[in-house]
Structure 1
Amino acid sequence: MKEASMISARSADRTGIRGWFFASGLSLLLIVSGCRRESPEGPRASGTESTSAPSDNVLSFGRTFPMLPDAAASREALTKSLREADAQVSASPDDAAPLLNRGRVKSRLAWFLSPQEKLRLTDEAEADFERAAQLSAGGPGAAAACVELARLRLGQYRFAEAVPLCMQAESADPQSPEVRALKAVLAAMGSGEWQACIERLKALAPELEKSESSIKAEVFLARALQFSGQHEEAEPVYRKVLEQDPHDWSSWNNLALVVQEAGRTDEAQAIQERLLPGGQGDLLGANNLAVTLNTQGKNQEALRILDEVLSLAPGFPAAWLNRGVVLDGLGRHEEALESYEQATRLLPTYWDAHRNRAWSLMILNRPSEAVEVFKRLTSVDPADIRALGGLGDSLYQCGRWREAADAYRLLIKALPEDPDARNGLGASLIELGDFDAAEPLLQEAVRLRPDFASAWHNLGLIAQKRSKPDEAIAAFRQAVAADPNFAPALSKLRDVLLAQGRKDEAVAEIQTVLKRAPANPLAHLALANTYYSIGLLPETVAALTAALQLGDDADLYLQRGARLIEMGRHDRALPDIRQAYDLSMSGEVELCAYAALFLWAHQDEFPQRPDADPMLRAVRAKLQDKDWPARLVDLALGATSAEAVLAAAESDGHRCEAWYYAGESKRLAGDRSAAETCYRSAVAVSLPEYYEYQFARRRLSAAP
C-alpha cells in the first residue's frame, strides 16, 4: 500500500474540483402559491420556535417597502373572504364564477394552515374548480378552471398532470392569455429554455393585465426570471407584485430567496420566519427557511427541518435537492448523492439536481459516472458553464486529457477571463506533454488571480519537467504562500528540495507553513514524510503524532504503526494498526484490508499475538472479488496461491505488494529461503513510497 501522502484520493494533482454545488428552489412552482428557487438551507419544522424574533420594523429592500403583513391578519382577511365566497355559492350554486372565486380563495388561505388543514382545504378548492369546469361546459370559464387546477397540481408536485389540464384549457379557450402563459411556463419546465419563456410572458403582459384572472403578469414573469437565475431582475418585479397585494405569501416567499441570492441573509430569514404562522407554516416556506439556515452554518437544524418536510411531502424535489446540499456540507456524500438521485427521479428535467449529483460523484471518486451526467447537461444547454467546468474536471480525473482540454477550451470561449478554465486547460496540456502551450495559459491564470495556488503549482511542475529546479522551487513556494493548506504544492516543494540535497531547507519550509497554520494536519504529515525521507524515524513518528492530535485519521494511524514497526516498537504499533482497522471498517474498506494484512504479516512479532484471521475474514466479506486487496487477503487466508495473485497484478505497486505478502506467507510457514526470494523481488520493483517495499527491505536487512 502506498504511504499516506498529502494529496487527497479524490482531488486531481493539478486541478482541484470546483465547489459548485447548487442550492436552488424548485421554481416549477412558478405559478403556484409557494413557488421558490432552491437553495439548501434549513427550513423550520412545524412547531419549532424561531431562533430570533421577527422584526416589526419596515423591511428595506433598497427603498421604503410596506411592512410584511402578519400571518394572522392575512389568515383573518382570507377567512372573511371565504365566508363571503360561501354565501355567493349558496346564492348561485349552479353558477361557475362563484365556485371559481371560492376555489381561488381556498387555495390562498391554505398557505396559512397546518399541513393537514392545508390538504383538506386544497381538496375542497380542487372540487370547486372541477365543478366550475363542468358548469362552464367549455369556453373561458372552463379554461380558467383548468388553469387553476393545473396550478394546484404543480403545487402538489404532480407535474405530469398539469400538462393535460393545460391542453384542456387551450381547447376550451385557445386565445386566453392565462392559458398561453401557463403553456409557456410548462414548456420551459420541460425544456429548460427559460429565456424564451420570459420573452413570451413579456409579450403577453398587456393582455394578462386586462384579464380578470387571479394570475398576474408580474407573478409569472418574476418567477420565470427567478428560475432562470436572473435574480436582480426578479426582485423589482416581486416588489411591484407585493405593493399590489401584500398578502401574496407566495411572492413574499420567493422574494426572500431572491434577497438571499443577493447575500442579504438576515432580510431573507426575517421574511421566512414571518411566513411560518405560529410555527405551522407551509412546507415550501419551511424548505426555504432551511436554505437560509444552512447558509448561516446551522446545517443540523436545516437537515432536521428538511427531513420533517419530506416526511410530510416525499414528492418534493426541491427539498430533496436541498437535503443533498446540506448533507454534502456535513461530509455525508453518499447520502447526499441519494438525495440528488431522488430529486431527479421525481423530476427528470431538474438540471440543478443532476448537476449536484455529478459533483457528488466527483467527490466520491466516481468521475466516469460524473462525465456522463455533465455530458447530458451540456447537451441540454451548451452554454451551461458549470456543467462545462464539471465536464472538464471529470474528464481530467478520468485521465482523458485531450477531451478535458476540449471542454476547457469551450469554457474559456464562454468565460475568457476565467482563471479556473485556463488552469484546467494548462493542466490537461501538461499531461499531454505540451508544456509550451500550457505555460502561457497558467501565467495568465496567476495574472488574473495572483493567489491561485493550483496554477502556481502547475507552473512549478512545468519547471520541474524542464529540469529547472530553482524555477520550480520558486513556483511551489508561491503556491504554498497563496494557500498553506494546498498539499500537492507543499509535497512537490519538499521533493524538489530533497532532490537538490537541501534537506534542512525542506524541513524549514514545512516548519514555516506550520507556524502559519499549526492546525493543518497535512502540513504535519508533510513534515513526517520529509523526516522519513532523510531517515529520521523518531522525528517522523513525532510529526505523525502531532497530526493525529488534531483528529483521528485511519491512514495516519496506519502510517504511524508502520513506522513504529520499522523502529522495532511493535508494542506501540499494535494499537495504532488496530485503531486504523476499526476506523476504516465502516467506510474505507481497502485501507481496512491493509491494516488487517499488517497485523497478519507481523503477528509473530507483537508482544500479544493478534488473531488476524477473523479480521481478515470480516474485511474480505466487504470487498468485491475485483478489488485488488481482496486477492491479498485471500492469499493471507490461504484461499489462493502467490502465483495467482502475481498473475493478477496490473501495476508495479500491485507486484511489490504481491511479492511482499507472498514472502510473509512463506516466512510464517517456515520457508525462510523462499520468503527472502520474494522479498528481493518486492524490493526490485523499487517503489520506496510503498510500505511493503520498506517492510521487505527490513526483512532482508535482518536476514542472517
Structure 2
Amino acid sequence: ECGSFPKPTHVPSIAVRVGAVYMLFILTVRAVWRSAEWRTEAMLFRSGLAVCPLNAKVHYNIAKNAGDAGNRTLAVSEYREALRLHSEYDQAMNNLANILKDEGKLKEAEDLLCKAVKLRPDFAAAWMNLGIVLAGLKRHAEAEQSYFTALVHRKKYPDCYYNLGNLYLDEQRYEDAYRAWRNATALKPTHTVAWSNMIIMLDSIGEMEKAETVAQEALSILPMEPSLHFNLANTLGKAGRFAEAEKHFTEAIGLDMKNPVYYTNLGVLYHRWKKYDKAERLYLRALELNPQLQSAKENMALLKRARSRMTGRH
C-alpha cells in the first residue's frame, strides 16, 4: 500500500522554501507593525503601557513626552500616576514640580521639590528648581541658599548662575546679579538670556557704556541672535545714536521678522527721529502681527496727536 504514494524526493526542499517565505512574511508584518507602533515616542510609550500598566517608569516616559509636546494636562496626570505607583520617584517629583511652578502652584511645587532633595540630597536640578520656586514666593534668603546648594553639587551649572542672577536682580543687588550672569556666560558663552539680562539691567541703571560693551561682546559670540541686536539698539537709541540703533533694529528684524515688539521699537526710534512716515509704517506692521500690542497702539496714538498738532500750526 505504501508503494502507491509518490516518492517524497522534492518535498523537503519545497517545504523549506514555503516555510522560509512564510517566516519572512510574518517577520515583515511584525516589522511593519513595530515600525508603525514606534513611529513616535508617544506611541512607543503607549505600547509599553499596554504591557506594563503598573510600571512607574512607563508613566514617567509618557508624562515627559507629553510635557515636551506641550500637553501639560496629560503630563501632570501621568507624573501623578508615576508617583502613585512609586512614591519615592524623585525625578518625577522634580518634573511635576516644574510644571506646577509654571502654572503658579508654588506651594505644591515646593513640597515636591523638598521631598525630592530629601530623598536625593545631591540632586542639583531639584535644588535649583526649589530656588526658583522660593524666589517666586519672595523667600529670597532660602532661595539663595538653594542655589548655593545646587552649585555645591554641580559646580559648572550655568542655568543655576542665571537664576541666581535673576534673584539678585529682584533684590536690586545689581553687582551680584552681574557677577552671577557673568559666571553663566563664562560657563556657557551661548547663554543668550544671561547676556540679554546683563544688557537690559545695565541699561536700566544708567550704565549705558557698559551695556554697549557687553552687547558687543555677546554679538561677537552670537552674531545671529536677534534679541542681542534688539537690546543693543535700545541702548543706542536711548543715547541718541539713532543711525547705529537703526542698524541693529534692522538686523534684529531681519533675523526675526515675526516679532511685533521689534517693529514697535524701531517705530519709536523713527518717531523720536521725526521720521513720522517710517514710524507709522512700523507701528502698523507691529499691529498686523499683534493687533492687541498695547505699546504699538499707544505710540500710534501719540504719533497721530503729534501730526495733528503740526497740521494745526500750519
Deviation at residue 426 of structure 1 after TM alignment? 0.7
Deviation at residue 478 of structure 1 after TM alignment? 1.6
Partner of 2:6: none
Partner of 1:428: 133
Alignment of 1:428-577 (within 5 A): 428-532=133-237, 534=239, 536=241, 538-547=243-252, 553-556=256-259, 558-566=260-268, 567=270, 568=276, 570=278, 573=281, 577=285
Quote the Cα distance in structure 2 between the aligned partners of 1:394 and 1:497. Answer: 31
Q: Does 1:376 align with 2:78?
A: no
Partner of 2:60: 355
Quote the Cα distance in structure 2 between the aligned partners of 1:390 and 1:411. Answer: 10
SS of structure 2 residue aligned to 1:555 = coil
Structure 2 residue corresponding to 1:698, chosen from 303, 306, 310: 303
TM-aligned CA distance change 1:459 to 1:118, over 3 Å: closer
Could you list the per-position Cα deviations for residues 181-228 of structure 1 after superposition, in whole angstroms to 9, with x for gaps in the alignment?
xxxxxxxxxxxxxxxxxxxxxxxxxxxxxxxxxxxxxxxxxxxxxxxx
Partner of 2:288: 595
Quote the Cα distance in structure 2 between the aligned partners of 1:697 and 1:381. Answer: 60
Q: Identity rate of aligned residues, in percent? A: 20
Taking structure 1 as the reference length, the TM-score comes to: 0.36
Deviation at residue 563 of structure 1 after TM alignment? 3.9
TM-aligned CA distance change 1:353 to 1:345, over 3 Å: closer
Partner of 1:399: 104
Please tell me the residue identity of whatever aligns with 1:462.
L
SS of structure 1 residue aligned to 2:172 = coil
SS of structure 2 residue aligned to 1:370 = helix
SS of structure 1 residue aligned to 2:258 = helix
Could you list the per-position Cα deviations for residues 518-563 of structure 1 after superposition, in whole angstroms to 9, with x for gaps in the alignment?
34444334334444555655444422443455x5x4433x344334
How many equivalent residue pairs?
A: 287
Deviation at residue 377 of structure 1 after TM alignment? 1.7
Structure 2 residue corresponding to 1:387, chosen from 92, 106, 110: 92
Quote the Cα distance in structure 1 between the aligned partners of 2:297 and 2:134. Answer: 34
Could you list the per-position Cα deviations for residues 235-263 of structure 1 after superposition, in whole angstroms to 9, with x for gaps in the alignment?
xxxxxxxxxxxxxxxxxxxxxxxxxxxxx
Deviation at residue 374 of structure 1 after TM alignment? 1.5
CA contact (8 A) 2:158 2:184 kept: yes
Quote the Cα distance in structure 2 between the aligned partners of 1:536 and 1:368. Answer: 48
TM-aligned CA distance change 1:524 to 1:348, over 3 Å: farther
CA contact (8 A) 1:340 1:354 kept: no
- Unmatched segments (≥5 aa) in structure 1: 1-82, 88-105, 121-281, 284-308, 325-336, 581-593, 599-631, 633-655, 658-689
Quote the Cα distance in structure 1 between the aligned partners of 2:198 and 2:164. Answer: 12
Q: Does 1:415 align with 2:120?
A: yes
CA contact (8 A) 1:564 1:573 kept: no
CA contact (8 A) 1:541 1:560 kept: no
Alignment of 1:150-161 (within 5 A): none
Alignment of 1:41-440 (within 5 A): 113-114=23-24, 116-118=25-27, 283=31, 309-310=32-33, 314=36, 316=37, 319-320=38-39, 323-324=40-41, 339=43, 343=47, 349=53, 354-363=59-68, 365-440=70-145
Could you list the per-position Cα deviations for residues 653-686 of structure 1 after superposition, in whole angstroms to 9, with x for gaps in the alignment?
xxx84xxxxxxxxxxxxxxxxxxxxxxxxxxxxx
TM-aligned CA distance change 1:488 to 1:402, over 3 Å: farther
Quote the Cα distance in structure 2 between the aligned partners of 1:435 and 1:695. Answer: 40
Taking structure 2 as the reference length, the TM-score comes to: 0.73
Quote the Cα distance in structure 2 between the aligned partners of 1:407 and 1:382. Answer: 11
Quote the Cα distance in structure 2 between the aligned partners of 1:382 and 1:440. Answer: 26
Structure 1 or 2: more helix by fraction: 2
Please tell me the residue identity of whatever aligns with 1:488.
V
TM-aligned CA distance change 1:541 to 1:380, over 3 Å: farther
Tell me which moved more, 398-407 or 517-526.
517-526
SS of structure 1 residue aligned to 2:163 = helix
Aligned-residue RMSD, C-alpha: 3.8
Deviation at residue 403 of structure 1 after TM alignment? 1.1
TM-aligned CA distance change 1:119 to 1:511, over 3 Å: closer
Deviation at residue 597 of structure 1 after TM alignment? 5.7
Quote the Cα distance in structure 2 between the aligned partners of 1:468 and 1:397. Answer: 25
